[in-house]
Structure 1
Amino acid sequence: MGALESRKISREELHELVWSVPVRQASRLLGVSGSYVGRICTALDVPRPGRGWWAQKRAGCAPAPTPLPNANLGHPLFWEKGPGSNAIFTYYKDRDLRQKSREIGWHPLALIAQRSFSKARPGRGDLLVVRANGAIDLSITASMLDAAIQLANMLFIALEASGSSVAVAVRQPFIRPAIGLQSCLADWQREVCSHTRPPRWPTIATIAGVPTGLAIVELHHEAEMQYIGDGQFAETCSPKGKRIPPVTGITWKQERLVSSKKLKIVAYSPVHSSPWRQEWQIDDPRTATDDIKEIILKLEIRAQGQEANRASCKPALPKILSHSLTAVELVAVDSLVAIPSSHTKEEPSC
């Protein structure tokens, strides 16, 4: 067994290892083959010496080691032999899917969502339940699945076209607050508010270096429903004028949440210390191009304001935080500096 085989190896440790010993020796220490060391480095976004570098080093004329780039969402932060290697497998599986999605003009996260949610079973409130690692943050029923996927695809492509990045933050230190199924502008004062089921991992867009959580939710409204048997309810005042069939046995009426057949995009802070949230209702995803442009512009203004605030506070921060901040490191900064919400109106949480 290699000396490093039985524990987690971080990106920093792997970078130091591959630039201090040749790949054959590194593979023995990690307990894997030399080619697999290369796959680990690619997955963790760790640069490694090129062909002939070690010969140049022995001759005393090798160039300096390539510095380790900042961590990016979509790349694992560590490797561990055994169960921990699943992150490497997932990275390469997602990479192949990204290549295929580019060929058909889809964003890879939207393509993954289509595959994951199309196999999902409805849970509470008929919302589709998906616990896959790479699934984006959707709270929708089967009837609105295609519209939600289309909206997510348009949003993610537009974000990346503007220079931002989007990823599912697997095993990252981000939070996802409770999000209501109803419009918070109208219903936030209710003591009882129905919430979406949180995803396994939040969907994070990195905008101007600032992490921003994203979710797409199917809007619901309260309506009077009557129990018609076999666990089914029917709306007493159907908008289409349909009459409730005669009910035999016990029946009753009650207020229940019903789909409005509309969607909303929710953006929020994925860190505890600077809470904010904003929502936009989307009536028809097919005509949401201008709405998405406006949403991205507002998120960029907010992110630039937060980044400027951090820059003004950098001299007071520890030296370790003085370099270019990554999405993961921003969590640590936010715990030291409270960022006021000056560019968008903070919506009360349901």
Structure 2
Amino acid sequence: MIDEAKRHFETAETRIDGYLKPRSKLFIDVATSTKTLLKSLRFANELFLRLERVGHRVVIASASEELIRLPIDVLESQIGGREHVLTCSPRRPTVAYIYGVPIGLSIIETSETVEMQYVGDGRFIRKSEYRKSEHVGPTWSSKKDLPSGRLRLVGYSPFHGIPWSRGWTETTNDLLDSRFEEIVNALRLGALDLVTSLREEGRYFS
């Protein structure tokens, strides 16, 4: 699954917001820039392997199950009511089957607000990289949301009307690949809650 995803992303176009947009709509639920692609896929691969080692199969959901994908806000700082939800999401969610119930999994590279400087020809660069002596002509600054290089994992309920989600966002000093045991345990606990909710409503297991 990871090898196929790598092929999809290596031929993808880069959107104006810096994220890759695969041509296919059937790909694992990873949102990333070119710069962070290998890191994102390595994390996804290790997470999937750890889940499968303890008996939890990870797949792209079958169309016959009619599962939903939760829209994920990629903004690293989720304050002020702003959000940035990517429109190039996969057609079907990536799910891990835990205790017989699917748990949605989204791995995204977060975006950060960056001060940009116009340098001509329709181009902007990061203001921290701007040197006045290297550019001529009109210039101005503006803010833009760009991929940060840091990852966020969201596990969620892929069922209409049964909300549940849990997220982990890494920082420079606290990377997600140091938290696999915590993540797997939390997903298993979430699956148990979801099993209870589904059975109470007579869904999925009926």
Shorter-chain TM-score above 0.5: yes
Q: Distance in 2 between matches of 1:245 and 1:218?
A: 34
The amino acid across from 2:170 in the alignment is: I
Counterparts of 1:163-312 in structure 2 under 5 Å?
163-171=55-63, 172-183=65-76, 186-190=77-81, 192-197=82-87, 198-238=89-129, 243=131, 246-283=134-171, 288-311=176-199
Greater RCO (CA < 8 Å, at least 6 residues apart) = 2
User: 1:259–1:133: structure 2 CA closer, same or farther, 3 Å change rule?
Assistant: closer
Q: Does 1:112 align with 2:112?
A: no
Q: Distance in 2 between matches of 1:245 and 1:139?
A: 37
The structure having more radius of gyration, on CA atoms, is 1
Q: Which runs of 5+ in 2 are unaligned?
A: none
Q: 2:116 touches 2:124 (CA, 8 Å); kept in 1?
A: yes
The amino acid across from 1:263 in the alignment is: L
The amino acid across from 1:193 in the alignment is: E
Q: Which runs of 5+ in 1 are unaligned?
A: 1-108, 322-328, 334-350
User: 1:301–1:121: structure 2 CA closer, same or farther, 3 Å change rule?
Assistant: same
Q: 1:112 touches 1:134 (CA, 8 Å); kept in 2?
A: no
Q: SS at 2:41's partner residue?
A: helix
User: 1:308–1:178: structure 2 CA closer, same or farther, 3 Å change rule?
Assistant: closer
RMSD (CA atoms): 2.4
> What is the percentage of aligned positions where both structures have the same residue?
30
Q: SS at 1:124's partner residue?
A: coil
- Tell me which residue corresponds to 1:125: 17
TM-score (norm 2): 0.86
Q: Deviations over 1:262-306 (max 9, x none)?
A: 11111122122112322212358xx75541121110010111122
Q: Distance in 1 between matches of 2:92 and 2:111?
A: 23
The amino acid across from 2:35 in the alignment is: S
1:188 deviates by 4.4
Q: SS at 1:234's partner residue?
A: strand
Higher-helix-fraction structure: 1
1:133 deviates by 4.8
Q: SS at 1:182's partner residue?
A: coil
Q: Distance in 1 between matches of 2:146 and 2:51?
A: 31
Q: Distance in 2 between matches of 1:262 and 1:294?
A: 18
1:195 deviates by 1.4
Q: Distance in 1 between matches of 2:123 and 2:166?
A: 34
Q: Distance in 1 between matches of 2:71 and 2:196?
A: 28
1:174 deviates by 1.4
- Tell me which residue corresponds to 1:136: 28
Q: Deviations over 1:175-208 (max 9, x none)?
A: 112211213xx41442x31112321221111111
Q: Distance in 1 between matches of 2:34 and 2:27?
A: 15
- Tell me which residue corresponds to 1:146: 38
Q: Deviations over 1:70-120 (max 9, x none)?
A: xxxxxxxxxxxxxxxxxxxxxxxxxxxxxxxxxxxxxxx111111111111
Q: SS at 2:128's partner residue?
A: coil
TM-score (norm 1): 0.53
Q: Distance in 1 between matches of 2:78 and 2:176?
A: 24
- Tell me which residue corresponds to 2:49: 157
Higher-strand-fraction structure: 2
